[in-house]
A and B are shown apart, each in its own frame.
Chain A
Amino acid sequence: MKPNLILHVVAKFLIPLIIIFALYVQFHGDFGPGGGFQAGVIFSAALILYALVFGLDAAEKIIPSHILRILASLGLVIYAGVGVVTLLLGGNYLDYTVLGSTQIAGQHLGILLVELGVGITVAAVMLIIFFSFAGRGRV
């Protein structure tokens, strides 16, 4: 791939901002518009931009595909695991109230963890989809 100075500079400037914005959408999801799904897509967009500008090999060095597969599973396990924890604490499945000392604290913590799981899985799956299409025919 031919290095392109303008693209490199702009990408290096934008990628941290995109990641910060993704984290903002992720953790602000319980107060305003946002949440795990959107944040995951934005987060993966940062890495896809990196792969487009610096090449697939460089991107795979940052996140190898076997790590992506584990992350994709991890998110779902976090989500379902929060439900199992609430079961063990004596509540119904995904009844976050039992997670905290007060109802509000419990609900807050629960939705935060669940959305974190969603965010991780969505970001990982978006990247897996991108890598498997972009990497076709290279093997």
Chain B
Amino acid sequence: MDHISLLLVVIPLITAPIVAVLPRGRLPWAVTLVVTTLCALLAGMQLWTVLHEGVISYELGGWAPPWGIEYRIDAVNAFVALIVASIAAITLPYALLSVEQEIPEEKIPLFYSALLLCLTGLLGITQTGDIFNVFVFLEISSLSSYALISLGKERQALTSAFQYLIMGTIGATFYLIGVGLIYSQTGSLNMQDIATILPGVVHLKTVDTGFAFIMIGIAIKLAMFPLHLWLPNAYTYAPSVVTVFLAATATKVALYVMLRILFIVFPHGFALATPVEELFIVAGIASIIIASIYAIYQEDVKRLLAYSSVAQIGYMVLGIGFASATGVTAALVHMFNHALMKGALFMAVGAIIYRIGACRMDQIHGLGRAMPWTFGAIVIAALSLIGVPGTAGFISKWYLVSAALEQSAWISVAVILFGSLLAVVYMGKLIEALYFKPITETGKEVTEAPLLLLAPMWTLVLANIYFGLDTNLTVGVAETAAATLGVMKP
């Protein structure tokens, strides 16, 4: 039981090289499926342990912190690890058919190997309590996701993976420079240890600079407006499964790192004394409005959803910008709910691509009638994205608006509501094309997606409804997590 937090990282890490040398066929997929399911169970157990027995601290190699690397799990990272691991476990059944169609056969074992490495990296970031170790896992997850994105069918996948590589490397380098500057002043890399040393050196300009480097670095990884330019291409040209997995996990993990650095590593009040929060609010507002408007004008459905993701990240950034308990709760709840809705939407689009091989607006006319279950999934996930009561999206919008009202931030309230209206427009455009436009005659009969694609998709859709009605898990855990972060404003 002591080793849960470690096994969560080690199991996918040790399976990845084994999967890479497995013979072609369905064996690599089966092994990956078992591993991701196991990870999801372990992440659930870990969250339960943290909530009932308190913080888990694990010393790697038996070296005591702050010298050794420490895995330190509290409610915040246990929650994020559960999001990542369960999305991976739900994506895997979906992956079998979609990957067989989109990835060349000889590359399938390597594909699953890279997927497992990406999972290792993302889980590692959530588990570790060492800011340099965060960088290492950030690179593991990023390098494997560049490889995954470049496997897309179209040739643009290569350029978009390269674009992401350049941006991602700049982000990681900035983060590393920041960590170096902090290390030069504190002599420590352990998050808890830095938090106790920093108040003594907080007046130094080096600390300010390090803070700025770390924030910009993570903001690139997070695709925070206006540093989001890599995201639409990467999501559009990646294989369907990769888009589902990355959209639901990668940016969430970056957001978690941001929260951890802002509220735990740096002393209370440090971030408040800098213009970071005003910047976050401005960036959040800008991304909600501008990215949503961009989404309305997209002709490619995946690109439309990608811009919508940038807008949704804006909501989370806005929540952090309020720097209040309600605001951070809203950001964490939206992190979870957005994984559910975007996971479902990208899976539905992946099912359309599975059937017709493309997803431009003019190619999907009337498909909703040929694929009623896929269409139903899109409609419910779209309602959740808009924030209709009874869906998960409503809960996050509710907390976000409450957080804004607490601080009488009327502009933010108006923007959140206006953002929902823009979501109505761009999701409405998709639904109109799918259902109300006459079918374009191609001579091919389109049928419903296979059950193996529908089942994971509908699991997420039903989760959207379930977590819109029962908020014990999401809001309950997010509130505990926000309390753990010790957010400063009342």
Contact = CB atoms under 8 A, between A and B. Distances in A.
Interface string B36-69: 0000000000000000000000111110000000
A93 B20 contact: no
B17 A76 contact: yes
B17 A94 contact: no
A70 B109 CA distance: 13
B421 to A, nearest CB: 50
A81 B21 contact: no
A87 B2 CA distance: 11
A95 B20 contact: no
B21 A93 contact: no
B463 interface: no
B21 A69 contact: yes
Contact of A93 (B3, B16, B17, B18): B3
Interface in A72-112: 72-74, 76-77, 80-81, 83-84, 87, 91-97
B62 A92 contact: yes
Contacts of A93: 3, 6, 10, 58, 60-61
Interface residues of B, number: 15
A40 B10 CA distance: 24
Contacts of A74: 17
A97 B62 contact: yes
A92 B65 CA distance: 13
A74 to B, nearest CB: 8
Interface residues of A, number: 19
A76 B62 CA distance: 21
Interface string B17-31: 110110000000000
Contacts of A84: 10, 14
Given A80-B13, A83-B10, A93-B3, A73 B18 contact: yes
B14 A73 contact: no
B21 A94 contact: no
A97 B17 CA distance: 26
A87 B5 CA distance: 13
B60 A92 contact: yes
Contacts of A94: 60-61
B130 to A, nearest CB: 14
A80 B13 CA distance: 8
Q: Is the interface of A mostly helix, strand, loop or mixed?
A: helix
B344 to A, nearest CB: 34
A97 B61 CA distance: 9
Contacts of B61: 92-96
A97 B62 CA distance: 9
A80 B62 contact: no
A19 B60 CA distance: 33
Given A80-B10, A83-B10, A93-B3, A73 B58 contact: no
Nearest to B71: A93
Nearest to A93: B6
Contacts of A81: 14
Given A87-B3, A95-B61, A69 B20 contact: yes
B435 to A, nearest CB: 47
B59 A73 contact: no
B21 A70 contact: yes
A69 B10 CA distance: 21
A95 B62 contact: yes
Contacts of B20: 69, 72-73
A73 B21 contact: yes
A81 B14 CA distance: 7
A69 B106 CA distance: 13
B60 A77 contact: no
Contacts of A76: 13-14, 16-17
A24 to B, nearest CB: 26
Contacts of B14: 76-77, 80-81, 84
A84 B20 CA distance: 20
18 contacts: A72-B20, A73-B17, A76-B17, A77-B17, A77-B18, A80-B10, A80-B17, A83-B10, A84-B10, A84-B14, A87-B3, A87-B6, A91-B62, A92-B6, A93-B58, A93-B61, A94-B61, A95-B61
Interface of B: 3, 6, 10, 13-14, 16-18, 20-21, 58-62
Given A73-B21, A80-B17, A92-B6, 19 more contacts: A69-B20, A69-B21, A70-B21, A72-B17, A73-B17, A73-B20, A76-B17, A77-B18, A80-B13, A84-B10, A84-B14, A87-B3, A92-B60, A92-B62, A93-B6, A93-B58, A93-B60, A95-B62, A96-B61
Interface of A: 69-70, 72-74, 76-77, 80-81, 83-84, 87, 91-97
For the complex of A and B, list the 5 residue pairs with the smallest distance between their C-beta atoms, beginning with the closest. Answer: A95-B62, A73-B17, A80-B14, A94-B61, A76-B17
